[in-house]
Structure 1
Amino acid sequence: MSALLVPPARKEAVTLGPIGPEAYRAFLSSPAGAALGAGFLQCPSWADVKEGWRAQLLGWGPDPAAGHLRGVALVLLRQLPGTRKYFAYLPEGPVADWTDPDLDGWLTPLLDQLRRSGAFAVRMGPSPAYRRWDAAHLKAMTGSGRRLGDVLASSVDPLGTAVAERLRARGWRRCGGDGTGDDGDAQPRHVFHVPLAGRTTEDLWSGLNQEWRRNVRRAQKEGVEVVVGSAAELPQFYRLLRITEERDGFRLGRSLAYYERQYAALNAEEPGRMKLYLARHGGEILAAHTMITVGRRVWYQTGASADHRREVRPSNALQWRMLLDAHALGADVYDMRGVPSTLDPDERAYGLLRWKLGTGGQVVETLGEWERPLGGTANQTLYRAFQAYLNRR
């Protein structure tokens, strides 16, 4: 079944209902769906990645069951142990027209559907951006104790501001509050984008800072080879990831089986949706990065590297190849995913931001994640109990 698209100017009555994965994917690949900019976390395949969650595929339109669609949503439902109630989560979703001033026309039927499904609370991640900081601007503003929120943004998105105000007026709460931190968000609030639309490969090269260009040249001179691997190399990627976590002081908490499941599910949905890039030197894999493509958007998802022979700069070589491949695919943006909010060079986390700033892109503050209980006091009590349960896990 192919999705039948409704011109935006028409104002037919819109309803929300369950749809199948074929109609969902057809909408995402249509011009109208692509214009809404769905991320990989809203693809039907993501439901197969997340264990312990039940999934619903929903669509808005004059007749969702027939494929007449204007928006879609992947809803993940997590059962609260000992009850028949669920926590509903729309990671970086729904895929909706956030420019529509009739926000209630989208969210009211969604909340009604979730209540009927037994949800006691819902969390979602609206897609509009909030603020942006250019790399060159941030490099000049680092300092002791300084954070992104202390620096005047290069631009503020009026749509993001309007959506945030409308959500607050309807009882939604921004997870982690309205500060500059990411606490409370399951997905990164601050991400790093390298714009690709309208740029040549020469533009991309000149956009790198001197250190990045020097490191890419060093990798080429040292004979670092970058190739696209397969599922067979995922164990080596995972081994390097554990080394990286130990070295850099973080823990993603994901197993090798998680990445194997992700690779299989995303590529079953569309061949080449998830790729594993490898940097080899002297016959050894020194670094491995994953890349995901949906429509005209490309993400660098996870990176890993060895502790030795770092002087040959395998990670710089990988990223430069991935940037070029994203550009060749016709992507509008290369999303390097999360960055910390610190601008303090003495903080350990700043190193990741500094590395990504070298590509010459932008730090983008998303609207973050928003949540609200569904119903009265009983559901609010369940929500607090569920949060305590997740904290114990």
Structure 2
Amino acid sequence: MGLLNVVVGSEDPGKAWDAFVAAASTGAALLLRRRLPGTSIGLLYMPRGPVLDWSQAEQVEQFAEALRQVACEQGVFLVQADPAVPEERVDVHDALTRMGFQRVEKQGLFRILQPVHVMRIPVDRYGGPEGLLAALPHKSRYNIGLAKRKGVVIVPRTDHNALRVFHQLLLQGGRRKGFPVRGLRFHEAIWRHCVQTGLGEYLFAEHGGRVVAVIQVLRFGPTAWYMYGASTGEDQNLMASYLLQWTGISRSWAAGCRWYDMRGVVSAKPSPEDPEYGVYEFKRRFNAELVSFLGEYDLAISPRVYAGWRWLEQAVQRPAAWSYRLYQKLGRLT
């Protein structure tokens, strides 16, 4: 059994990443290939993959063999994966190990950057949004109602100008709080392939005719994802963020989604002393539950090149971390 290797193109005009779809009768994976600058080699990344029936050992082995064949054909030294599989699935970890993958802990620039710990709301467990609303903490219900009483209005949009306003708010928030924001080209690709195809939307919170906050929600199958959010900083007393999330949950349910994924938190055991604890606390106020995935895995196709790559990872972490802290400080000053 072999993989069906279909080139579907690159969204990056600079060809930083090339995208493939690898599929077989028993599983599938999206493969992103990146060439290392100035070399003929590169790496493959399987975002949230592969998707397999992990109980079928023979099929998993066949997929692994075909994956190595594709990797060799593409001239890569490494295949990275971060399957969306809960960490308690030891059987999947064992299967990945038999495929030749090894679990790795990475930091900074060399992390895949998909969240390992996410917060998910099982909306169907409550019978729908109304059942969920009744089960929310009193303060959450109060804040949702308060936003309505203060005149906050939620406006769904999918037009291109909505994308631009959304991205501008992201940039303003990034400068104010000192975190990096992906460029317009990245968000334009999401708009074109997801929002414009009916798989997502922007929800704007408006007050007195002014936009005070916005979130982006994407939907696929039974799951909706709160991807990004931003505000002007003027919405705190209006509780607009509560009404935005509640609207996102309700509209996702109406579109057929049964899970609402509020995406990542930094730790499996958040502590009030953590700088990002407020993010976890806000999501928990919507009865979101913490789910931890298995983590990141590397399959070394060329052990010698991979060893050099791992050495480089360790060598650049300290200067990279220093540069990021400097970026944060400068961002807060502007």
Same fold (TM over 0.5): yes
In the alignment, residue 143 of structure 2 is paired with which amino acid? Answer: N
In the alignment, residue 317 of structure 1 is paired with which amino acid? Answer: L
1:124 and 2:81 aligned: yes
Q: Secondary structure at the match of 1:129?
A: coil
In the alignment, residue 273 of structure 1 is paired with which amino acid? Answer: L
Equivalent-residue separation in structure 2 for 1:303 and 1:343 (angstroms): 21
Structure 2 gaps of 5+ residues are 324-334
Residue 329 (structure 2) aligns with: none
Change (3 A) 1:272 1:72: same
The percent of aligned pairs where both chains have the same amino acid is 28
- In 1, are the aligned partners of 2:206 and 2:213 still within 8 Å (CA)? yes
* Distance apart, 1:171 and its partner CA: 3.9
Q: 1:161 aligns with which of 90, 93, 97?
A: 90
Residue 219 (structure 1) aligns with: 147
Q: 1:351 aligns with which of 278, 302, 306?
A: 278
Please, which moves more after superposition, 110-119 or 50-59?
A: 50-59
* Distance apart, 1:235 and its partner CA: 2.4
Residue 53 (structure 1) aligns with: 17
Equivalent-residue separation in structure 1 for 2:119 and 2:228 (angstroms): 13
Q: 1:107 aligns with which of 61, 64, 67?
A: 64
- Deviations 1:71-121 (Å, cap 9, x if unpaired)? 222111110122211111111112322333332122221122111110100
Equivalent-residue separation in structure 1 for 2:220 and 2:312 (angstroms): 36
1:380 and 2:307 aligned: yes
- In 2, are the aligned partners of 1:120 and 1:383 still within 8 Å (CA)? no
Matches within 5 A, 1:261-300: 261-267=189-195, 271-300=197-226
Equivalent-residue separation in structure 1 for 2:34 and 2:137 (angstroms): 44
Q: Secondary structure at the match of 1:206?
A: helix
In the alignment, residue 168 of structure 1 is paired with which amino acid? Answer: T
Residue 80 (structure 1) aligns with: 36
Matches within 5 A, 1:356-371: 356-371=283-298
C-alpha root-mean-square deviation of aligned residues, in Å? 2.8
How many residue pairs were aligned? 315
Matches within 5 A, 1:1-393: 14-19=1-6, 48=11, 52-61=16-25, 70-102=26-58, 103-130=60-87, 157=88, 160-176=89-105, 184-198=111-125, 199-229=127-157, 230-251=159-180, 253-267=181-195, 271-341=197-267, 343-381=270-308, 384-385=311-312
* Distance apart, 1:249 and its partner CA: 4.2
* Distance apart, 1:261 and its partner CA: 2.5
* Distance apart, 1:333 and its partner CA: 0.9
Equivalent-residue separation in structure 2 for 1:163 and 1:228 (angstroms): 39
Q: Secondary structure at the match of 1:300?
A: strand
* Distance apart, 1:20 and its partner CA: 6.9
- In 2, are the aligned partners of 1:94 and 1:126 still within 8 Å (CA)? yes
- In 1, are the aligned partners of 2:7 and 2:20 still within 8 Å (CA)? no
